[in-house]
Copies of this chain bind each other. A is one copy, B any other.
Amino acid sequence: MADQQVPSSIKDQGLVEKRRNQMIKGAVSLFIEKGFHKTTTREIAKASGFSIGTLYEYIRTKEDVLFLVCDSIYERVKDRMEQVIDTEKKTIDSLIHAVTSYFQLMDDMQDEVVVMYQEVKSLSRDAQEYVLQKEKDMLEMLTQVIRNSISTPMAEQDISLIANNIFIQGQMWGFRRWMLQKEFTLESYTKRQVHFLLEGLNVNSIQNQQTS
């Protein structure tokens, strides 16, 4: 767990976890509203339901809050993807299901994802790398699903590229909502992206025809 990365002066580990969850919850909504830099530690404390002194019993610096927030978002995304993605099943359907689920997830967590992409650069080099690892893990999951679901072999590079494309198309749904969510519903967006994805994979199966 990332919690181990941020020392606390509180000994009771259960309490640390509980308080940090309060903290993350409070901070996320503030960061969404006004960004990390324009949010004050006092506001974070208040939104978390405790005093400024208590806040600093659970973190060392304001940046720790950002780390906890980013890490928790990544963790939640990763968790849900692990639940939802079956890296074993070897059908094109499982790929479609994975992408659909991932897009759904990105829709659910739009704000959080936007925050993360905005603020992750404010983390220290180390923290950034720690958090980025989770992104690599997720990418690896997508890669695996793609690899499994295609019948004819494909260059690893191409698989990786497609995984990246899917990955950011998911994020783009939230990130560029001002543009996309005027023209598409989540369903239509998913349907068309999946369509082009399958075209790219040269899958002329029934599924493909269904989606076009």
Residues of A within 8 A of B (CB): 35, 37-38, 114, 117-118, 121-122, 132, 136, 139, 157-158, 160-162, 164-165, 168-169, 172, 176, 178-180, 183-184, 188-189, 192-193, 196, 199-200, 202
Contacts and interface: CB of A to CB of B under 8 A. Distances in A.
Nearest to A119: B118
A196 B164 contact: no
B35 A122 contact: yes
A178 B120 CA distance: 14
A153 B110 CA distance: 33
A177 to B, nearest CB: 12
A41 to B, nearest CB: 13
A121 B176 CA distance: 12
Chain A contact residues, majority secondary structure: helix
A117 B2 CA distance: 27
Contact of A183 (B157, B178, B193): B157
11 contacts: A117-B117, A157-B188, A157-B192, A158-B192, A160-B183, A162-B196, A164-B172, A164-B179, A165-B165, A168-B169, A168-B176
A160 B172 CA distance: 14
A121 B161 contact: no
B164 A176 contact: yes
Given A158-B192, A196-B161, A199-B200, A179 B118 contact: no
A89 to B, nearest CB: 24
A193 B121 contact: no
Contacts of A161: 183-184, 189, 192-193, 196
A56 B178 CA distance: 33
A55 to B, nearest CB: 16
Contacts of A176: 164, 168
Contacts of A158: 192, 196
Nearest to A158: B192
